[in-house]
Amino acid sequence: MMMTPEEILEDFSWLESWDDRYGYLVELGRGLPPMDPADKTEETRIEGCQSGVWIKTTTAGSPPVLTFVGDSDSAIVKGLVAIVISLVNGRSPKEILALDIPEFFAKLNLENHLSPTRKTGLNEMVKSIKQQAAVLVEMEAADDPAT
């Protein structure tokens, strides 16, 4: 079951030890809906992650709303994927671009407890999602004769 960002923040606030927080990250990852193995392609793979990370984006509606599915072969990273997806899922491209995802992770106080490679992977996930949103915003602007 996917948690909301607010629920994740609240749950993290109750966890005192880092073992508990890492355990919770693993639980969040287990709660991700399964990703179809056919969707784990080079196109959906996030470059720059030490472990395998895949995030597939689907766009529907007008104005567009984005939905995401993701997976990782690392339990902790899969938890990070779950948090990122909880933040961006069901939002418009403009809303995604306006999100301060690093600020959210700062509130979770994970910064000092993630290895440099995990931090890099997390940044690459966010960068990839924001780039996709930016492309959609640009396409929307190009299609709008009023701009």
Which positions are annotated as active-site residues? 49
> Looking at this protein, which amino acid is placed at residue 42?
E
Contact between residue 12 and residue 25 where contact means Cβ atoms under 8 Å apart:
no
Contact between residue 134 and residue 99 where contact means Cβ atoms under 8 Å apart:
no
* DSSP character string of 46-105: -TT-SS-EEEEEEEETTTTEEEEEEEESSHHHHHHHHHHHHHHTTB-HHHHHH--HHHHH
Rg (alpha carbons) of the chain, rounded to whole number: 16
Q: Which residues, 6 or more positions from 107, have their beta carbon under 8 angstroms from its beta carbon?
A: 9
